A and B are shown apart, each in its own frame.
Chain A
Amino acid sequence: MTATITDKKVLMKGNYAIANAAVLAGCQCYFGYPITPQSEIGEFMSGKMQELGRAYVSAESELAAINMTIGACSTGVKAMTSSSSCAVSLMQEGLSYATSDQLPVVLVSVMRGGPGLGNIYPSQGDYFQATRGGGNGDYKLIVLAPSTVQECADLTYKAFYLAQKYRNPTVLLADGLLGQMMEPVEFKPYPYPEIDNSQWKLSGAKGREARIIRSYAPLADNQCVYLEKLFEKYKLIEEQETQWEEIGTEDADIVLVSFGSTARNVKTATKICRQKGLKVGILRPITLFPFPTKRLKELAQSVKMFVSVEVNMGQMVQDVRLAVNGKAPVELIHKGVGVPPAPEEIVKQIEELM
């Protein structure tokens, strides 16, 4: 798998689509340590980056990989790392630092079963890890959740763009199903403008004042000011970048909320429900932070029940409940780990909830 194609559909694994899109997005440095189910990303990068004269480093650990990415990003180049669940855990400190340093780190997280080493099957068990973070302090990561292989490519572009635009670490949150499945995908050229980073990057201080990027504020007041600013940025991101897909919600009694690969089966389930005459719609968050809280709040004025459908023990359901804020019941349909419940199974469970 070596092609960097931009003009026709190719059948490709989600992992390769992510890697190929990262190359097309202008990623100059890749640092990573292999782990199933995302190893194809590193494999692709190991060949392609060398071929293009860019940097590929097989890091000695995930801790090293995230810190190498931080280092590269501080010089103003686009850089990324990728990993999976238990190994993304090892990167949490780095992500907290990168947020504090305001560096455009891109992390591809291809979720597998947990907790601990878990297993290599698909999972959405790292919704909390991505949206709440395991690092210390008040921070947010921008989190994008693709649902198809085409979106794996498109949202990889977007991850690089948003990371640069807001100088904030951005996570592409895929899963083992998306990483390992193949689907036709088309690669258009990187569609976003390049962001000027000349005012902050560490590019050598010759002819200008020296800069320092660090994650330490010696004075309490300064840190208060800093945090306020950081959260003004997050507010702006919420206002401008919240993205979701909605089908059949206009007259819906029940709205299913689902993200990522699971949303594929949920869409089919809503179709089956409609055929049965049930007024069911779907809202699929594409950005998990920022979460489409406002839209859910609006829908809660008329919708009789929300159901979060996830492959974990129930994580996003908490954000749905916060958004709906008691205006309607919020139920959960879930499976602990593995491929998502079949559409018919989801329909059956919806009927039981009614």
Chain B
Amino acid sequence: MEKDFIIAGFGGQGVLLAGEVLANGFMIDNKNVTWYPSYGAEMRGGTVNCTVVMSDEDVSAVQKSSADFIIVLNQASFDKYVSWVKKGGSIIVNSSLAIIKKTREDINYIFVPITKLAQEKLGNIKMSNILALGTLSRVSKLISLSTLEKALHNVIPPHRANLIPKNIEALKLGYEYDLLKV
């Protein structure tokens, strides 16, 4: 089995970091995994995305032009990547920064007000990326929250360890996205 994931958004939204946490999670689960970034020269505000490929065998290709699961954190990414979702695949859309609109019948749309949830429930919009991973865990059923928790420990450096509990909270919030009223 091989599954492809794309996470996309503005530079500064933590797209690459979210991908790194996801890829670490798959490594912890003893899968073969690759992470590949794509971004412009801007420090913030440019578009950025990363591709994570998880496979039981050798990863077939690092860069893909379609994916099983795509997280889009802004409108521009939603517009670009909705056509990249494989038939039967899912797209998780940050409805705080993208208009809720379904243009395809053959994919699953999961609209979550990611930025708003992060702001109102966690008091920090910077948690949006990890919150989205919680939703991905729920939707994909390919990675558990506890694995993602371990992955956070791999990725967040020791001098930022104080941020881990809040990020775990973000994962849980994202996982329970449909139970919350925002």
Contacts and interface: CB of A to CB of B under 8 A. Distances in A.
Interface stretch (B6-14, B53-61, B113-121, B135-143): B53-61
Interface SS of chain B: mixed
Interface SS of chain A: mixed
A-B CB proximity, top 6 nearest: A182-B35, A339-B63, A268-B60, A181-B36, A184-B27, A11-B24
Given A11-B20, A11-B27, A11-B154, A177 B62 contact: yes
Given A182-B23, A342-B65, A11 B33 contact: yes
Contact of B33 (A184, A265, A340): A184
A297 interface: no
A181 B34 contact: yes
A340 B37 CA distance: 15
A268 B64 CA distance: 13
A285 to B, nearest CB: 19
A310 to B, nearest CB: 16
Contact of B61 (A11, A182, A343): A343
Interface string B153-176: 010000000000000000000000
Contacts of A9: 27
User: Interface extent on A, as a size class?
Assistant: 10 to 19
A189 B157 CA distance: 24
A184 B27 CA distance: 7
Interface of A: 9-11, 177, 180-184, 261, 264-265, 267-268, 339-340, 342-343
A181 B61 contact: no
B5 to A, nearest CB: 13
A268 B61 contact: yes
B34 A182 contact: yes
Interface in B36-63: 36-37, 58-63
A177 B36 contact: yes
Contact of B62 (A10, A184, A261, A267): A261
28 contacts: A9-B27, A10-B154, A11-B20, A11-B23, A11-B27, A11-B35, A177-B63, A180-B36, A181-B62, A182-B20, A182-B35, A183-B35, A184-B32, A184-B33, A261-B62, A264-B58, A264-B61, A265-B60, A265-B61, A267-B58, A268-B58, A268-B61, A339-B36, A339-B63, A340-B61, A342-B61, A342-B65, A343-B60
Interface of B: 20, 23-24, 27, 32-37, 58-65, 154
Nearest to A268: B60
A265 B60 CA distance: 6
A264 B62 contact: yes
Contacts of A183: 33-35
A184 B34 CA distance: 8
Given A9-B27, A182-B23, A265-B60, 11 more contacts: A11-B20, A11-B24, A177-B62, A177-B63, A180-B36, A181-B34, A183-B34, A268-B61, A339-B63, A342-B63, A343-B60
B79 to A, nearest CB: 22
A343 to B, nearest CB: 6
A205 to B, nearest CB: 48
B89 to A, nearest CB: 18
A132 B40 CA distance: 33
Contacts of A264: 58-59, 61-62
Contacts of A267: 58
A32 to B, nearest CB: 21
Contacts of B154: 10-11
Nearest to B21: A11
Contacts of A342: 61, 63-65
Contacts of B65: 342
A268 to B, nearest CB: 4
B134 to A, nearest CB: 20
A268 B57 CA distance: 11
A336 to B, nearest CB: 16
Find the residue from A11, A183, A264, A343 having the highest chain B CB count within 10 A: A11
A268 B53 CA distance: 14
B100 to A, nearest CB: 32
A181 B27 contact: no
B32 to A, nearest CB: 8
A32 B23 CA distance: 30
Contacts of B34: 181-183
Contacts of A261: 62
A261 B24 CA distance: 21
A10 B65 CA distance: 27
